[in-house]
Structure 1
Amino acid sequence: MDQTDDIADASSSRSKVRRQHTGWLAGGSLLAALGVTSCCVLPLALVLAGVSGAWIGTLTALEPYKPIFAVIAIGLIGLGFWQVYGRRTKCDDRQGGRTVSSLTVKLALWTSTLLVALALTAGVWAPLFY
């Protein structure tokens, strides 16, 4: 009986650590995605929202770092998706696996994916708005 409890406790702590790692991956991918979009998509979104000012032009100074942010974002998004969708254990199936935090992580990962896709294809669609 005690050995079963120890196994359940160890499994629970592994699940908690995995959720923490997934949260960090999702948050990091969201920040990296914002870095990717800061040079092209963010200024366009601000202008379309009616925000103006000379400071918006300074956001293009981050253009040389766009490939670095893109590689970091794609890597973190990939690891995040692998943690959320790719790694399933028996413990996850038993507990149901759907918590508010997992939904938040999934939302962050999908938002990051959308932002990176918009930033990497901005050369195609952005001229339509200028």
Structure 2
Amino acid sequence: MTDIQDEDRTTDAPDRKGLFAALGLTGAFLASACCIVPLALVTLGISGAWIGNLVALEPYKPITSGIALAFISVGFWHVYFRKQPACVDDSYCARPQSSRITKAVLWVAAVLVLLSLTVNWWAPLFY
């Protein structure tokens, strides 16, 4: 009887790795909003006085980067190191696309945070 209850609990559990990937990507966008977004917009030829307002977010970059790195780390742990629970056939977690999407989001978020943390080294090459 307990085996059936344990199996139901693992198959009905929410997809936490997707949640951490989404939160990590959101944090990465917030961490890069002060530095990478204005540089990318200017590189694309988009300009305006409002772009200067994004630089006001720079004091918050360590906080948002730290939060994003925490979510990304937990997401990587869920995807690569944690034992995966069994999935019900034809559910979303049983499809290989769900794992690929989650991994791609985690890697994109990690690259964005890495770029935002190292912007002072490589941004002068674009000025």
TM-score above 0.5? yes
Cα 1:3–1:72 change in 2 (3 A) is: closer
Q: What per-residue deviation string (whole Å, max 9, x for no partner) do you get for residues 5-52 of structure 1?
A: 544333322xx42x2x21111111111101110111110011111111
- Matched residues in 2 for 1:85 and 1:60: separation? 35
- Which structure 2 residue ranges, 5 or more long, are not aligned? 88-92
Q: Which amino acid aligns with 1:69?
A: T
Of 47, 51, 54, 2:46 maps to 51
1:125 corresponds to which of 106, 114, 122? 122
TM-score, structure 1 normalization: 0.84
In the superposition, the TM-score normalised over structure 2's length comes to: 0.85
Does residue 76 (structure 1) correspond to residue 87 (structure 2)? The answer is no
Structure 2 match to 1:8: 7
2:26 is equivalent to residue 31 of structure 1 = yes
Q: RMSD between aligned alpha carbons?
A: 2.3
Look up the equivalent residue of 1:49 and give its one-letter code.
L
Q: For residues 69 and 3 of structure 2, what CA distance do their matches in structure 1 show?
A: 40
Equivalent in 98, 102, 124 of residue 101 of structure 1: 98
* Alignment length (residue pairs): 124
Identity %: 44
Please identify, of 44-53 and 81-90, the stretch whose mean Cα deviation from structure 2 is larger.
Answer: 81-90
Unaligned runs of 5+ in 1: none
